[in-house]
Amino acid sequence: MNLNNYETLLTEKSGRALIVTINRPDKANALSEKSFLELRDLFDQIAASRGLFAGVCITGKGDKAFAAGADIAAMNAMSSQQGEDFSALAQSVTLQIEALPVPVIACVNGYAFGGGCELALSCDFIYATHASEFGQPEVNLGLIPGFGGCVRLARCIGLGLARELIYTGRRMKADEAVKAGLVNRVFENKLLMLESALETIKVIGTKSSSAVALCKRTIQTTEAQSIEAGLLSERRSFRAAFESPHKSEGVRAFIEKRKAIFS
């Protein structure tokens, strides 16, 4: 496993958390094809390293931007086929994040526009600072959100507000983003935000990893299902939890009045 061999990303382990930093500060951390290829490789490695990490934080280098969107200069030279391929690559990374068995927290410092906002939307939840701003400004460029924004933003904040933001390109500040349900918590600065995200991952790391993974998968798969279909999926996951050694240990530990040890 080599998590340090990237041009556009930095990685740092902190306990059982991995901090991933999008590292193109001179371009407001704009996401290029290279960024997504490297993210794809990184998430492949994390998925293969079962149990090594309890969670991942994604942030942007510096204080200005989480990521100011897809790389506009690169898109200038793309054909429509290349544009579709770029969208497919970026979308595949968002699906990888959703499929990861551990939580991913987007720690949004500064601007999360376009692809940056869409990357954050594919994470399990979002923390932000008071300086954060969110938006899908693609209509200013004659483009549309192509990395999941047309699909995920409405599911997160509701159709009406998502339509307004996408049609107007309006930027939403952190306080409004919390009220809209896009952001869980807002912090004074990036350091406090990262510390809190690491603490959240530390807490999650003390829980049953198989139960957390099942919760993530079940929430993910049932999101777009009918209540009946969702409940069926949940029931199957509940059964899978019963089949795990963690359930035996967790339930027995409660009855024996001791702390569960999840290996």
Per CB under 6 A, the list member of 98, 138, 165, 183 interacting with ligand COA is 138
Find the binder of ligand COA among 37, 89, 143, 215 (CB under 6 A). 143
> Please, are residues 230 and 222 in contact by the beta-carbon 8 Å criterion?
yes
Write out the H or E segment, with its range, that includes residue 227.
helix 227-242
Q: What residues numbered 3-32 form the site for ligand COA, per CB under 6 A?
A: 27-28, 30
Q: Where are the alpha helices (DSSP H) in 206-226?
A: 209-222
Question: Which of 33, 38, 71, 98 touches ligand COA (CB under 6 A)?
Answer: 71
Q: Find out whether 165 and 153 touch, Cβ atoms under 8 Å.
A: yes
Q: How far is the CB of 55 from ligand COA (least distance, A)?
A: 28
Q: Does 58 bind ligand COA (CB under 6 A)?
A: no
Residue 63 or residue 164: which is nearer to ligand COA going by CB?
A: 63
Residue 118 annotated in active site: yes
Contact 130, 154 (CB under 8 A): no
* Measured distance between the N- and C-terminal CA atoms of the chain, rounded to whole angstroms: 22
Cα distance between residue 139 and residue 15, in whole Å = 42
Q: Does residue number 149 form part of the binding site for ligand COA (CB under 6 A)?
A: no
Q: Report how far Cα 146 is from the mean position of its chain's Cα atoms.
A: 16
138 is catalytic: yes
Helix/strand/coil for 223: coil
Selected from 42, 54, 68, 214, the binder of ligand COA by CB under 6 A is: 68
Which residues form the interface with ligand COA (CB under 6 A)? 27-28, 30, 65, 68-73, 111, 113-114, 137-138, 140-141, 143
Which residues are marked as active site?
Answer: 118, 138
